[in-house]
Structure 1
Amino acid sequence: MRSRQAESTLVLYMTSGCHLCEQAEALVRQQTAWVSAIEIVDDVELLERYGVRIPVLRRLDTGNELDWPFDVAGVQRLLSGYRPD
């Protein structure tokens, strides 16, 4: 069961014009509306951290991240708070 708290802390790091980012955003929005898309090119630190990894879905409350490629099951695990070993 997803909590509204968990969903409200999701961020998708991406860049405009990235077809993989668009696919990831569509997939995530099928699971929850509580996600903010963040453009990384506007922030040097984010660009350095995520530039070669995007799209990346992150839960701000736990710090857990999901790198592309991910699927519905991966998004659901992130939403549920599952943390891999």
Structure 2
Amino acid sequence: MKIFFYTGPQCSLCDLADIELKNTSSFKALEVEKVNIRESTDLYHLYGARIPVLKREDNNKEIGWPFSREDLEEFLQ
């Protein structure tokens, strides 16, 4: 499954989200593409106040911070 990880430079919350994501049971089966929202005006307007955000490619569902490992496990099912 492909996941887009919307992030930004020097984002400490993004670092925490990355740790939670890497601790999920399904992490090894994921293709994670980190996307710096500062590289796109559209993405910055969509996610600037919300990062970190994870988005599934298959169904476009999103989960934004804060989330726990349990929230992520449910999101990735």
**TM-score band w.r.t. shorter chain:** 0.7 to 0.9
Cα deviation for residue 57 of structure 1 reads 0.8
Q: Separation in 1 of the partners of 2:22 and 2:5? A: 10
Name segments (4+ residues, structure 1) moved above 2 Å.
Answer: none
Q: In the comparison of the two structures, how many residue pairs are matched?
A: 73
Is residue 2:68 matched to residue 1:75? no
Any stretches of 5+ residues in structure 1 without a counterpart? 1-6, 81-85
Equivalent in 9, 13, 21 of residue 16 of structure 1? 9
Unaligned runs of 5+ in 2: none
Instruction: Letter of the 1:79 partner, please give it.
Output: L
How far has the Cα of 1:29 moved from its partner? 1.7
2:3 corresponds to which letter in structure 1? Answer: L
> Percent of pairs identical after alignment?
30
Counterpart of 1:52 in structure 2: which amino acid?
Answer: A
Task: Note the alpha carbon deviations across 1:3-57, whole angstroms, 9 max, x for none.
Answer: xxxx3x1111010201001110111122214222111000111000000000001
More strand per residue: 1 or 2? 2
Greater relative contact order (Cα < 8 A, sep 6+): 2
Of residues 29-38 and 46-55 in structure 1, the stretch that sits farther from structure 2 once superposed is 29-38
Aligned equivalent of 2:23:
30
